[in-house]
Amino acid sequence: MNVVAALHGTHDVRLETRELPSLGEREVLVKVLTVGVCGSDVHYYEHGRIGSFVVERPLVLGHEVCGVVVDRGSRAAKHAIGQRVAVEPGVPCGQCAECRSGRYNLCSDVRFFATPPIDGAFARYVAAHEDFAFALPGTLSDDAGALLEPLSVAIWACWKGGVRLGDRVLVTGAGPIGNLAAQTALAAGATTVAVADVNVERLQRAAEIGSTQTIDLNCSGVEGQFDVLLECTGSESLTRDAILTLRPAGAAVLVGMGPGLEARIPLAAMQAHEITLTGTFRYANTFAVAIALAAAGRVELDRMVDARFPLEQVDRALAATRENPALLKVIVDVAEEEQPERSDRRGPD
Amino acid sequence: MNVVAALHGTHDVRLETRELPSLGEREVLVKVLTVGVCGSDVHYYEHGRIGSFVVERPLVLGHEVCGVVVDRGSRAAKHAIGQRVAVEPGVPCGQCAECRSGRYNLCSDVRFFATPPIDGAFARYVAAHEDFAFALPGTLSDDAGALLEPLSVAIWACWKGGVRLGDRVLVTGAGPIGNLAAQTALAAGATTVAVADVNVERLQRAAEIGSTQTIDLNCSGVEGQFDVLLECTGSESLTRDAILTLRPAGAAVLVGMGPGLEARIPLAAMQAHEITLTGTFRYANTFAVAIALAAAGRVELDRMVDARFPLEQVDRALAATRENPALLKVIVDVAEEEQPERSDRRGPD
Amino acid sequence: MNVVAALHGTHDVRLETRELPSLGEREVLVKVLTVGVCGSDVHYYEHGRIGSFVVERPLVLGHEVCGVVVDRGSRAAKHAIGQRVAVEPGVPCGQCAECRSGRYNLCSDVRFFATPPIDGAFARYVAAHEDFAFALPGTLSDDAGALLEPLSVAIWACWKGGVRLGDRVLVTGAGPIGNLAAQTALAAGATTVAVADVNVERLQRAAEIGSTQTIDLNCSGVEGQFDVLLECTGSESLTRDAILTLRPAGAAVLVGMGPGLEARIPLAAMQAHEITLTGTFRYANTFAVAIALAAAGRVELDRMVDARFPLEQVDRALAATRENPALLKVIVDVAEEEQPERSDRRGPD
Amino acid sequence: MNVVAALHGTHDVRLETRELPSLGEREVLVKVLTVGVCGSDVHYYEHGRIGSFVVERPLVLGHEVCGVVVDRGSRAAKHAIGQRVAVEPGVPCGQCAECRSGRYNLCSDVRFFATPPIDGAFARYVAAHEDFAFALPGTLSDDAGALLEPLSVAIWACWKGGVRLGDRVLVTGAGPIGNLAAQTALAAGATTVAVADVNVERLQRAAEIGSTQTIDLNCSGVEGQFDVLLECTGSESLTRDAILTLRPAGAAVLVGMGPGLEARIPLAAMQAHEITLTGTFRYANTFAVAIALAAAGRVELDRMVDARFPLEQVDRALAATRENPALLKVIVDVAEEEQPERSDRRGPD
């Protein structure tokens, strides 16, 4: 039997017993080890919806998943039983125009964990398509395996912004995505990476991972000149100010989602300087790259983890960042009860 | 001696006699034949300024220029005396980071005709750098030579939007730039080119040059799904609506300049569908392409000309589109007085 | 029952009766109307192999297919019964790294018509995945439907070469692919398209479809300066000469396959001028574009057809170009016997 | 007065006294501090020519230059007297089609140090255009300043190959360019960088700067699968083998120049896998990036220096690598005589 933590309504998470997921022929059954808490999980927990996605029946949250393969469908031969894997949480159709064009993140038939009505991974077990499960090298921790998903968001942002050798990059927002965006920009060769936020503790964390400059928005606005903006707050006014720091032909990448459907942008300046603005949505083809970066030590994932809770305390995990906004990353440690030595475990594979 | 039509203030154009321009060593003296009237000329005439560019001393307008080389600087050997040329109206510095990167349109030291304090081409003679004067094939009329400049704007827009074979392109605005953008998109292989405007006569013109669809904005909004938007009105609300017609990963290119410094855009949809928005400013490396397209008959320039005035009536030329908004292109026919047979002339070179 | 023309050995094609193909749940049964004969079909017929692909058991050739949907798998809802379709002849796996990256033509698990051991379309009926069957507009003939496949090769070549507005393109080889490459380059905005061949009749055809220049290789070598080379012969010496005509930073696209595994290229010049050379293999995401181009009249497919044979005479169809090298395209008219009025038929859909 | 080391014929370098160079109005007079010895310098010294470039009159070699500004032309205001600078050794025309397109390295009118008939920098003083002199931060040594030029070659190679996050890069050749290419690929986010050579000492150096794998070509061929090849030997057979290790759609960048005008490449495989091959020639827009990378410690330049000679011993400097092929970089220390404490100097600016 499976055990899941299902969201029944705002602030209402219940532990439930369910059947084990049945496996498609190329799916594997993954025993969950750790799951990262994403801002979107928290938003569903607090509001019961994100935009047009509404929780109308109990929904299992969680889409940043590390686990171990414990069973395989009839034609799933890619991973051995016992293989530790990170799970890419969205499986696209593979045949539509978007999928065929290499931008499967825009597939309208994608099945994505923890997006109504698809259940996520705050559970003992999940099913995953074997092609969307990625074998983890033994040097990566379970937590790192889970955090490959937000790292994917950061890689995608850097790709969209075309971050390259010697670039000056401005990252607005020092939360988990901003932190990873800064790390990834550095890994891509950016030599100036400025991180802006109002939270001084988070700025301190940004400095620790190698950002070359921090901007305390309590004291000053964003200044300087940058090649690329990676916007990770969703703040309309900050986005506007940040766009104005871009050099001619610079690129603004919008990762953070704001509250409204529309926003004001400094269009006249964007025309005079031919600034490009790109919206981003999830990611495509990033997981193998994320593993390579983490395994090579180019990004550090473990140090982002600030708190961990067992599956039985998913509600506490979901409430943690509200109580302490300085927390970067909260982990739901699904394996904890059974294997209490988990926290420092490294995989043997 | 030279004769110029200088703008002294709003609605105040005066014919003046000046010294002939002195030639730099790689400059040529161009006897002007025809000059197109651009919306920016009209804007200076009506308002005395465009944004931060203010007419503070008498300014000669006009930057869409066809003429004939009548003298050469000491090291100017590219064009023979008597060669008919189109003049690219901006000469960048050639050495700054923008110039070296191939985006010389963003050079901050560019000297651009009819942009304060640089005089333009409503004149008997102008000086031009020989590398920015382009020999015209004999099959192109003087008018076509002048209209290579707005055609350059259209080519640049199509390049920025990545218009390619089989694309569905929406052009908002059926004025001269929109008309040329539609023609250029068709030349680049777009198979659906929809043009939207409120002016029915202009829509008729759009249909005549091969647009596959016209949208009368008096009757309906923009509808359909498009790969690329070429926005040529500067209207905030139309821009918003038009962006929403783009397919996932579609591109919005903003050519028209609106009245304000900022504008609202549909950011949430742009994020969900990874729409890219690019501001454009003038053009780079387009003139040779423009000549090739016009000479090959892929775009038709002559049929855009709706009215012509001699140099002595520049004020009438500048007022003409206000009086009749359906006019596509007004030409100042500088050569008229001296060579009245001009209108149907084809060059012999 | 199905009837197929199977290749048993070189020059040995036999008409055979087989079971109708069983349909996968998203497949449709296509009653074949017309099939184009490709050079690769002829090569298998003459040599029994292409490189490492060897005909070891009877193989049905033919992969340029137009037909009509006559039955549907349990979950195939995209096309109505009676819908005329063009069939994209390769179905990739949809999940591997190549597929996910938008270059599914490089999928190593692709199932491609008429490539051992997958049977092709010289048959009364074939099965096709509904996502790889493309509804044909009524304005396109059956022959045009079949020729969307070689047109796809031409589109892919132009994409790889980055053909754009005002480009000067050299096409070496005036066979069916060269002819279509020239047409497609013109449709993409190339204003100079020179076609080189030794066959004077084919050069005449190239001139008729709008090439701006023909080069009779019996009399002269390739000359001029070009932005893009679309090489459609596989000739080593011609490829070398043609590369040397490219401008600095020009692009050479190799479409034609030569007899050997290696070839000599003019490397020193390619380094001094930063020429890029790209190999091409089939195509990806081209069929919708091909339909749009053909339906818009940007390319002409019907005029390429020089001969047609019924299914019973596939051997004659395969031998025809050997007997008359000037033939551009030979069609196997599978529907002929049953519907003799076929040749001028236009679809009603 | 100036002192230069001029090559009069093979193995014939003579110290000569000349007039100081006269300054163009935007030029600066640079007192040379250090100059790196490039393989091309050695080739001129040994053979008197490189391809079509023949030393027909005495030629001053040396084009990797660090110096200090000691005088300025009438309109040269960018650098203060006393400013330490690295000199980009080629000044393009700034106006031709190549220059305007951002690929000024292909300008046919470029004036490039140490390329007949333009003299280079084995001299006490050289003149440099101020826009092609780059202020050095005080943290960079004189040697590092000189080595920004070969670093530029490496940056250009990585750009041309599109090296990005998580890439697997094969560098063939562990000489100075290969060493820097490996460092730059790592800085750009490559997580696998394999370096192949026959020289075991050089492979050791490759390992020290962070290459993840070394391939001793005495013992084995190149193996594995790579995304990008940076070919830095010019060896025809190695190039062929290396191209065959590329993944589908991989990129081969040819940096090393071979002895012949032509070379055999594995064309069939390149077509089947759509491999792209690009020739490279010098670089464009790299110096600012090179400074940023070096100043940020992303690449290490000083540790490449293995030997140094004063200006009076340029012939020994040019012969050094022939005598000891393991040497990575030889420096001509022009400032040595006057300031013998030079070797460990860091700039104060």
Q: Which two tokens stand for residue B116?
A: 């304060």
Q: For residue C81, is pLDDT > 70?
A: yes
CA nearest to A280, candidates A252, A258, A253, A261? A253
How far apart are the C-alpha atoms of B202 and B211, rounded to whole Å? 12
What CATH number is given to the structural domain containing D64? 3.90.180.10
Q: Which two tokens stand for residue B157?
A: 């827009």
Q: Which residue has the tokens 């016997």?
A: C337
Q: Within this chain, do residues B108 and B217 fall inside the same structural domain, yes or no?
A: no
pLDDT at B337: 63
Q: Within this chain, do residues C14 and C133 fall inside the same structural domain, yes or no?
A: yes
Q: Within this chain, do residues C158 and C50 fall inside the same structural domain, yes or no?
A: no
Question: Is C287 within a domain?
Answer: no
Which residues of chain A have a CB within 8 Å of the CB of C284?
100
Question: Is B344 within a domain?
Answer: no
**Structure confidence by residue, pLDDT tens digits, B155-185:** 999 999 999 999 999 999 999 999 999 999 9
- ipTM for the predicted complex comes to 0.94
Alpha carbon distances (Å) from A171 to A133, A243, A253, D85: 30, 11, 10, 31
Percent of chain A whose pLDDT exceeds 90: 92
Distance from CA of B102 to the nearest CA of D (A): 4
pLDDT at D345: 43
Residue of chain A whose alpha carbon sits nearest to that of D297: A191
Q: For residue C115, is pLDDT > 60?
A: yes
Query: What's the mean per-residue pLDDT of chain C?
Result: 95
Which amino acid is present at C241? D
pLDDT at A337: 63
Query: What's the mean per-residue pLDDT of chain B?
Result: 95
Q: Within this chain, do residues B273 and B231 fall inside the same structural domain, yes or no?
A: yes
Q: What is the mean pLDDT of residues C188-205?
A: 97
Q: Which two tokens stand for residue A85?
A: 């894997």
Q: Within this chain, do residues C136 and C157 fall inside the same structural domain, yes or no?
A: no
Question: Is D227 within a domain?
Answer: yes
Is B100 within 8 Å of D285 when comparing Cβ atoms?
Answer: yes
Q: Residue D268 sits in which domain range?
A: 153-279
What CATH number is given to the structural domain containing D187? 3.40.50.720
Question: Is A289 within a domain?
Answer: no
**Structure confidence by residue, pLDDT tens digits, D129-151:** 999 999 999 999 999 999 999 99
Strands, E, within B79-190: which ranges? 84-87, 90-91, 111-112, 125-129, 133-135, 168-172
**Structure confidence by residue, pLDDT tens digits, A64-116:** 999 999 999 999 999 999 999 999 999 999 989 999 999 999 999 999 999 99
Q: Within this chain, do residues A93 and A208 fall inside the same structural domain, yes or no?
A: no
Q: Within this chain, do residues A6 and A134 fall inside the same structural domain, yes or no?
A: yes
pLDDT band at C336, cuts 50/70/90? confident
**Structure confidence by residue, pLDDT tens digits, B181-215:** 999 999 999 999 999 999 999 999 999 999 999 99
pLDDT at A112: 96
Touching D (3+ Cβ pairs <8 A), the chains are: A, B, C
How far apart are the C-alpha atoms of B19 and A31, rounded to whole Å? 86
pLDDT at B341: 46
**Structure confidence by residue, pLDDT tens digits, A260-300:** 999 999 999 999 999 999 999 999 999 999 999 999 999 99
Q: For residue B346, is pLDDT > 60?
A: no
Q: What is the mean pLDDT of residues A308-323?
A: 95
DSSP assigned state of B154:
H
Distance from CA of D257 to the nearest CA of C (A): 7
Contact in structure between D61 and D120 (CB atoms under 8 Å): yes
Question: Is B68 within a domain?
Answer: yes
- Any idea which of B270-279, C50-59, D125-134 has the lowest mean pLDDT? C50-59
**Which of B101, B249, B279 lies nearest to residue A271, judging by beta carbons?**
B279
C&D contacts, CB < 8 Å: 118
Question: Is B43 within a domain?
Answer: yes
Is D263 within 8 Å of C265 when comparing Cβ atoms?
Answer: yes
Which residues of chain D have a CB within 8 Å of the CB of C281?
271-274
pLDDT band at A345, cuts 50/70/90? very low
How far apart are the C-alpha atoms of C164 and C158, rounded to whole Å? 9
pLDDT band at C342, cuts 50/70/90? very low
The answer for residues whose C-beta is within 8 angstroms of residue D212's C-beta and 6 or more apart is A296, D191, D192, D193, D194
Q: Which two tokens stand for residue B228?
A: 């690329």
Q: Within this chain, do residues A185 and A101 fall inside the same structural domain, yes or no?
A: no
Question: Is A146 within a domain?
Answer: no
**Structure confidence by residue, pLDDT tens digits, D165-220:** 999 999 999 999 999 999 999 999 999 999 999 999 999 999 999 999 999 999 99
> What is the DSSP code string of B6-58?
EEEETTEEEEEEEPPPPPPTTEEEEEEEEEEPPHHHHHHHHHSEETTEE--S-
Q: What is the mean pLDDT of residues A119-136?
A: 97
Which residues of chain D have a CB within 8 Å of the CB of B108?
none
Distance from CA of C288 to the nearest CA of B (A): 8
Distance from CA of A4 to the nearest CA of D (A): 35
Touching A (3+ Cβ pairs <8 A), the chains are: B, C, D
Higher-confidence residue of C190 and C260: namely C190
Q: Within this chain, do residues C12 and C135 fall inside the same structural domain, yes or no?
A: yes
Query: What's the mean per-residue pLDDT of chain D?
Result: 95
pLDDT band at B249, cuts 50/70/90? very high
pLDDT at A52: 84
Is A100 within 8 Å of C288 when comparing Cβ atoms?
Answer: no
Question: Is C63 within a domain?
Answer: yes
Which residues of chain B have a CB within 8 Å of the CB of A278?
274-277
| Rg of chain C, C-alpha, whole Å | 20
Q: Within this chain, do residues C165 and C134 fall inside the same structural domain, yes or no?
A: no
- Residues in chain A whose Cβ is within 8 Å of chain D: 155, 158-159, 164-166, 184, 187-189, 191-192, 212, 288-290, 292-293, 295-296, 298
Which residues of chain D have a CB within 8 Å of the CB of A289?
165-166
**Which of B158, B191, B288 lies nearest to residue C296, judging by beta carbons?**
B191
Q: Within this chain, do residues C174 and C81 fall inside the same structural domain, yes or no?
A: no
pLDDT band at D337, cuts 50/70/90? low
Q: Within this chain, do residues A317 and A254 fall inside the same structural domain, yes or no?
A: no
pLDDT at B340: 43
- φ, ψ of residue D240 to 5 degrees: the values are -55, -50
Continuous H helices in chain C: 39-47, 97-100, 142-161, 176-187, 200-208, 236-243, 267-272, 287-295, 314-323
Distance from CA of B255 to the nearest CA of A (A): 8
Q: For residue B343, is pLDDT > 50?
A: no
Q: What's the domain count of chain D?
A: 2
Residue of chain D whose alpha carbon sits nearest to that of B96: D131
Contact in structure between C269 and C243 (CB atoms under 8 Å): yes
- Residues in chain B whose Cβ is within 8 Å of chain C: 155, 158-159, 164-166, 184, 187-189, 191-192, 212, 288-290, 292-293, 295-296, 298
Which residues of chain C have a CB within 8 Å of the CB of D248?
98, 103, 106
Is B277 within 8 Å of A276 when comparing Cβ atoms?
Answer: yes
- Residues in chain C whose Cβ is within 8 Å of chain D: 51, 98, 101, 103, 105-106, 160, 240, 248-249, 254, 257-258, 260-281
**Structure confidence by residue, pLDDT tens digits, C141-183:** 999 999 999 999 999 999 999 999 999 999 999 999 999 999 9
pLDDT at C52: 84
Q: For residue C344, is pLDDT > 80?
A: no
